[in-house]
Structures are given as C-alpha cells and as structure tokens.
C-alpha cells in the first residue's frame, strides 16, 4: 500500500468521528440515511471503535478522568521511587505484565512547544523550577494507550481481539485530540490547566500526558 493511500485511509477513518459529533441525537423515528455514521455494533473495526469512543466520551470518559485525577505534585512525589511505589494512585489490569497508568490534574507554565509536528506537544513546568516536567501531547498523532488503559471500565476481554482493542485506544486518542481548543500563536510563558492520563513503565521515565481537558489561562 502506498503512503498516499495510507494517508487517505487515515483521513477517511476520521470522517465518521466528525459526523458523529454533528449528529448527536438522531431522531429514532427517522430511518437511517445511506452512509449514516456507523454505530458501535456495525462497520469496520476503525469505524465501530470510533463510534464507541464518541459514545462513551461525554457520559463516561470525562467524568471518570475528573473523578479519578490526582494532583500532579502528589503523583510526582509518589513516583520518585518508581511506578510500583505509586501503585495506590495507579490503574492497570490485575494480571502481571501490564504497566501502571496514572491520571493527573494540575497547572503549569509552557516552557517549550512544538505545534508543527504531527506529534505536536507542549512542555510544561509544573513545579516552578523553570524546566519542563510534563509533556502534553497535542496530536493529531498521540503516542501510547494510556487513555484506554487508565479507564478501568474498558476491559480487553470485552473486545474481539487486540486489533479491535488497539483501534479503540487509537479512537480515544483521536477523540482527545479533536476536543482540544488552543489559541493561535506562541504559547510559551502562558499558564495551562490540564487533566489526563499517562503510563509509567520504569523509574524516572518522563511524563507523557494525553490530555482529556486542556485550558490555556
């Protein structure tokens, strides 16, 4: 498959997501029009997981993150001795072999930004030492599966296979990206309030946060 085709497919995959947002409450009396956005029960894996992410975002994901978020300073202190030491704040399946995920909230000053890259990001200083200590992913490409894996109501057993479950992670990341509203122009020096999850596998690993809420003050 050529790169162009890949890009085209990726763009196509975003279409139903956008469509879902516009047609929020379809009239149940109205028969589904041809080419109507797929539901969580129909269509390709990508389309179905995209619809699923859209379905759960407002009613489940946003309130869950708000309820479970821990202050970034508390998490940072707990993580000094590695992820296992911060287990009481962490989320992961019971079985061995899965890393810890943490849900943070806080505020920081932008010390560096990269908004040109496909994997755009902000570096925040959240402890006032002038150095970046939390990297907030802006996307459109967001790395990792922290968002899916910190939501403990999403269980792998409920999904057909790893492919479907990976598409769900991707769809949630896409949704997080789509919800970001940032002002134009250089944000360096501005204050930013955030909430969202990140994964920590090893002691000392840098924090790479997937934002669920992000607000420039």
Q: Report the interface residues with other proteins, using CB under 8 A.
A: 1-3, 6-7, 10, 93-99, 118-119, 141, 143, 145, 155-163, 165-166, 169-170, 201
Closest distance to other proteins from the beta carbon of 120 (Å):
11
* Closer to other proteins by Cβ: residue 8 or 32: 8
Closest distance to other proteins from the beta carbon of 173 (Å):
10
Q: How far is the CA of 192 from the CAs of 107, 118, 125, 182, 215, in angstroms?
A: 5, 21, 10, 10, 6
* Closer to other proteins by Cβ: residue 40 or 111: 40
The Cα–Cα gap between 212 and 176 comes to: 6
* Closer to other proteins by Cβ: residue 166 or 180: 166
* Closer to other proteins by Cβ: residue 74 or 98: 98
Closest distance to other proteins from the beta carbon of 154 (Å):
11
* Closer to other proteins by Cβ: residue 97 or 185: 97
Decide if 78 contacts 85 (C-beta within 8 A).
Answer: yes
* Closer to other proteins by Cβ: residue 3 or 181: 3
46 CB contacts (<8 Å, ≥6 apart)? Answer: 13, 167, 170, 171
Residue 63: burial class (beta carbons within 10 Å; 0-12, 13-18, 19+): exposed
The Cα–Cα gap between 199 and 153 comes to: 17
Closest distance to other proteins from the beta carbon of 177 (Å):
13
The Cα–Cα gap between 41 and 48 comes to: 6
Decide if 124 contacts 136 (C-beta within 8 A).
Answer: yes
Question: Cα-Cα-Cα-Cα dihedral of 178, 180, 184, 189, to 10°?
Answer: -150
User: 38 by DSSP, 3-state: which?
Assistant: coil
Closest distance to other proteins from the beta carbon of 1 (Å):
6
Closest distance to other proteins from the beta carbon of 12 (Å):
14
């Amino acid at each position: 498959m050529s790169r162009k085709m890949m890009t085209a497919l990726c763009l196509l995959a975003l279409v139903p997501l956008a469509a879902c947002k516009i047609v929020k409450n379809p009239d149940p009396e109205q028969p589904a029009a041809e080419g109507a956005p797929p539901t969580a029960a129909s269509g390709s894996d990508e389309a179905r997981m995209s619809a699923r992410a859209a379905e759960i975002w407002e009613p489940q994901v946003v309130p869950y993150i708000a309820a479970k978020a821990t202050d970034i300073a508390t998490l940072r202190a707990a993580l000094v001795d590695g992820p296992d030491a911060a287990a009481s704040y962490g989320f992961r399946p019971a079985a061995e072999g899965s890393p810890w995920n943490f849900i943070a909230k806080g505020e920081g000053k932008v010390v560096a930004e990269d908004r040109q890259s496909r994997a755009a990001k902000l570096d925040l200083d959240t402890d006032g030492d002038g150095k970046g200590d939390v990297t907030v992913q802006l996307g459109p490409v967001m790395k990792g599966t922290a968002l899916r894996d910190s939501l403990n109501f999403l269980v792998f057993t409920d999904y057909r296979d790893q492919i479907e479950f990976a598409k769900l992670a991707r769809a949630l990341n896409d949704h997080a990206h789509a919800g970001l509203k940032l002002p134009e122009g250089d944000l360096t020096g501005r204050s930013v309030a955030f909430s969202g999850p990140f994964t920590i596998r090893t002691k000392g690993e840098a924090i790479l946060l997937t934002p669920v809420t992000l607000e420039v003050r």
